Amino acid sequence: MKGWKLQRPAGPNGYWEILDEEGNSIATIYGDGPEVEANAKIIAAAKDMVEALKEHQEGIDHFYSKINFKQSFLDAKAIRFMNETNIKIGNSLKKATA
């Protein structure tokens, strides 16, 4: 994976560092415990997640354009899931790239 990396310096430092592709520190998360670690991991994965969401949005839009919903076997639950998930992904992208 080419995205950001998570690093916890050796010793009882009580912080996590997020590094860019070149190894430069771009964020520091202070604290200890599982919640702090989980937040640090989410931040480290953010760039990759945004790129994946963009690819998904482009792909799903193309996919939807190929479905003839009048002749489809998709039921209301499947269509609702597709629509609601697509809206949630679009809103997440807007927040992440605003």
Amino acid at 98: A
The number of folded domains in the chain is: 1
- What per-residue confidence (pLDDT) applies to 11? 63
Q: What is the DSSP letter of 69?
A: T
Residues 38-69 pLDDT 10s = 888 888 888 888 888 889 888 988 888 888 87
Is the confidence at residue 77, as pLDDT, over 90?
Answer: yes
pTM value surpassing 0.85: no
- What per-residue confidence (pLDDT) applies to 72? 84
Quickly list DSSP for 16-59. EEEE-TTS-EEEEEE--SHHHHHHHHHHHHHHHHHHHHHHHHHH
Range of the domain at 82: 5-97
